A = this chain, B = another copy of it.
Amino acid sequence: MNVQPVNEEMRSAAQAALDRKTKPRGSLGRLEELAAQIAAIRGSVAPEPLRAAIVVAAADHGVAAEGVSAYPQEVTGQMLANFASGGAAVSVIARRTGAELVVVDVGVVTPSAVEGVRNARLGPGTANAAAGPAMTRAQALEAIRRGRELAEELSASGFSVVALGDMGIANTTAAAAICCALLERDPVDMAGPGTGLDEHGVAHKAQVITRMLEVNAVDASDPIGVLAALGGFELGLLAGLALATAEMQGVVVLDGFITSTAALVACRIEPHAAGYLVASHLSPEPGHAPLLYSLDLRPLLELGLRLGEGSGAALALPLLAAARDVLVDMATFDEAGVSDTGR
């Protein structure tokens, strides 16, 4: 199966429908654009109420050994348990939003035996990408395949929106390296503080990314090769999840820098996938703005969120629901008997 372009006729029909609703033309701004995009993705000018799942994919990164994070690697597995038991930010926000939270272990170093964590483990974290490839090409393909499998299951269960979340100590390093490779950017531009590095930490991180790129000699025209070389398991699963969700006309909601990097990989595999993406927010992580720009995406929120785990995507879900409702449930000027003299 391939990703089809989103339905531009439905986008236009939705905009025309919005123009008949009881409000001045265009007065709901970006909410109208979002509604029209949802129509284009779902292939309907009156899409069913959206049902959203938030997938938090967690894995560890061998490159953590280079001292690129403020937190130890054991935190990835600990947070996985916290997601599943309902105490993490994304758990709390998902509950409030009525979204289904799906927590996936794609390969943390210290797995937790907590109920509610799905096992999609590809190993106890990736290898250190500053010393060689993070994973084999077969592992990268398998991570993508498992993401596709999950997308199919979610679609079959009636979820029309899939929000991407991530957890993985050192995964901003992996993501920044992938962005450098695919966008041909300098590590100094893409390395950021992540969960809380200081200036020296960020400079060290940029050096580590430079080493990752030198050691692996990746080819920007081979996104799967880039993913395999630089990691991580969760990035691969999220890329596959985005790809197959787009294939099945689902809406893919990005969170921050990591999930947007997974989407970049997906779009390098299938360029039409970009039309199915919604950027929930702009992170202060310095690589996020150029990354979203490269995908031609404008974020909905700008609240200084830099947590990851799908928390920003979860916060944007009510905007998607409202956009769909405005398109489908609002009265037209005719229906409501309101004079329409505006332009």
> A: which residues have CB within 8 A of B?
21-25, 27-31, 70-72, 74-75, 78-79, 81-82, 85-89, 92-93, 95-97, 195-196, 198, 284, 300-307, 311, 314-315, 318-319, 321-322, 325-326, 329-331, 335-339, 341-343
Contacts and interface: CB of A to CB of B under 8 A. Distances in A.
Contact of A78 (B25, B315, B339): B339
Given A318-B96, A322-B315, A88 B28 contact: no
A72 B339 contact: yes
Given A30-B304, A196-B25, A338-B78, A331 B70 contact: no
A23 B342 contact: no
Contact of A97 (B71, B304, B318, B336): B318
Contacts of A330: 87-89, 92
24 contacts: A22-B79, A22-B87, A22-B89, A23-B307, A24-B307, A27-B195, A27-B196, A29-B284, A29-B304, A29-B306, A30-B304, A70-B343, A72-B339, A74-B339, A78-B338, A81-B337, A87-B329, A92-B325, A92-B329, A96-B321, A97-B322, A196-B343, A314-B322, A315-B319
Nearest to A305: B29
Nearest to A283: B29
Nearest to A29: B304
Given A78-B337, A318-B318, A336-B87, A302 B303 contact: no
Q: Which 4 A-B pairs have the closest CB atoms?
A: A87-B331, A29-B304, A318-B318, A27-B307
